[in-house]
């Protein structure tokens, strides 16, 4: 086992899959000679050539369309968005082409494409660079959506996403690239549609994903010292949602807290609440608690930015309130 940064774990996954399968290639802004904004594609151009680590113009709709066309012809493109917020410029290609072409072609085309890059609320990146796009893409039929949270699951999930024959939106949080984790020396992959049980408990089920996993665990570690025993689930798959993992936990705890960085209105938490109420309402002993980011553009000002996102102190208060009642 070795300690590896998340950006290196993602680079290792990309490198291994490019070496394993010559149809895999990377394209995007500065992914070649510069090595990507966060060095996820560092040195790949030297190893595989400029056509497999392909620098593109600043034209998201154009290179997304080119990648989808390449996928139709049998290649397996990995599209890096320099910032996932910029991929709103390619929303038509992602929704009307990537998400639908396998269906509208009657199964004649497969679209094995991975669309990945940094997203989420960073540190004073401004509103247009701090978007939380998971809810935007969740409504599009035909897409799979994954949010990695540790270097270990980042590597295993990216390898699976590259091998999948369907379009996968792969979210990496901009503040997690320098997180460290132990990675095994052997090759491994992880399922794209399964949640991870991070911590077992009996008092309350906490469902979270991406950066919020770490905020939740900070809160849980403190509360454990006070005698509370929460169960923590990292969703990982945002579409489809692993509702069976959530229901299995609710059979034990009968209480649910959702912690997300997504907006509250129409967010991932809203979808989880809808599915739980549809199928597992009788398991609940109290109303579901949802901790989400504020419904407003992320401010540039540091103090205002911090006020828009959920932090461990708020999670602690929510756990105490729902358990102690």
Round to whole Å and give the CA distance between 12 and 10.
5
Using CA atoms, how far residue 171 sits from 1, 120, 196, 239, 271, in Å, is 25, 9, 16, 12, 18
Q: Which two tokens stand for residue 128?
A: 């247009």
Q: Which two tokens stand for residue 199?
A: 């911590």
DSSP-assigned states of every residue in 256-273: EEEEEEEESTTSHHHHHH
Q: Name the pairing type of β-strands 256-263 and 237-239.
A: unpaired
Please count the helices (runs of H) and the strands (runs of E) in the chain: 12, 14
Cβ(96)–Cβ(143) under 8 Å?
no
Best CA proximity match to 287, nearest among 318, 263, 265, 264:
318
Active-site positions read: 60, 129
For the stretch 156-188, what's the b/e string if a residue is b when 16 or more beta carbons lie within 10 angstroms of its beta carbon?
A: bbbbbbbbbebbbbbbbbbbbbebebebeeeee
What secondary structure letter does DSSP report for 230?
A: -
Q: Name the pairing type of β-strands 180-183 and 2-5.
A: antiparallel
Round to whole Å and give the CA distance between 126 and 122.
9
Cβ(296)–Cβ(246) under 8 Å?
no
Using CA atoms, how far residue 64 sits from 109, 131, 302, in Å, is 17, 19, 33
Round to whole Å and give the CA distance between 114 and 126.
26
Q: Which two tokens stand for residue 4?
A: 């590896």
Q: Which two tokens stand for residue 289?
A: 């608690």
């Amino acid at each position: 086992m070795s300690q590896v940064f998340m950006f290196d774990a993602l680079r290792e996954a990309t490198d291994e899959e490019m070496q394993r399968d010559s149809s895999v290639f990377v394209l995007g802004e500065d992914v070649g000679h510069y090595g990507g904004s966060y060095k996820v594609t560092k040195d790949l151009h030297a190893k595989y050539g400029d056509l497999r680590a392909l620098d593109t113009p600043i034209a998201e709709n154009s290179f997304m369309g080119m990648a989808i066309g390449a996928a139709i012809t049998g290649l397996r493109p990995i599209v890096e968005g320099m910032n996932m917020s910029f991929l709103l410029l390619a929303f038509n290609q992602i929704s009307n082409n990537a998400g639908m072409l396998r269906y509208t072609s009657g199964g004649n085309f497969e679209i094995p494409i991975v669309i990945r890059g940094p997203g989420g609320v960073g540190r004073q990146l401004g509103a247009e660079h701090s978007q939380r796009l998971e809810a935007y893409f969740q409504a599009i039929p035909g897409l799979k959506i994954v949010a990695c949270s540790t270097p270990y699951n980042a590597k295993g999930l990216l390898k699976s996403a590259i091998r999948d024959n369907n379009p996968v939106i792969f979210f990496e949080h901009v503040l997690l690239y320098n997180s460290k984790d132990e990675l095994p020396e052997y090759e491994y992959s992880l399922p794209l549609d399964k949640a991870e049980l991070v911590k077992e408990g009996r008092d309350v089920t906490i469902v979270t994903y991406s950066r919020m996993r770490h905020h939740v665990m900070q809160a849980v570690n403190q509360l454990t010292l006070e005698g509370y025993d929460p169960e923590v689930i990292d969703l990982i798959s945002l579409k489809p949602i692993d509702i069976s993992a959530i229901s299995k936990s609710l059979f034990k705890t009968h209480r649910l807290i959702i912690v997300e960085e997504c907006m509250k209105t129409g967010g991932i938490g809203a979808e989880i609440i809808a599915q739980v109420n549809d199928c597992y309402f009788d398991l609940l002993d109290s109303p579901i608690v949802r901790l989400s980011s504020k419904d407003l553009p992320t401010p540039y000002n540091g103090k205002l930015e911090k006020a828009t996102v959920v932090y461990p102190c708020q999670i602690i208060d929510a756990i105490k309130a729902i358990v102690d009642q």
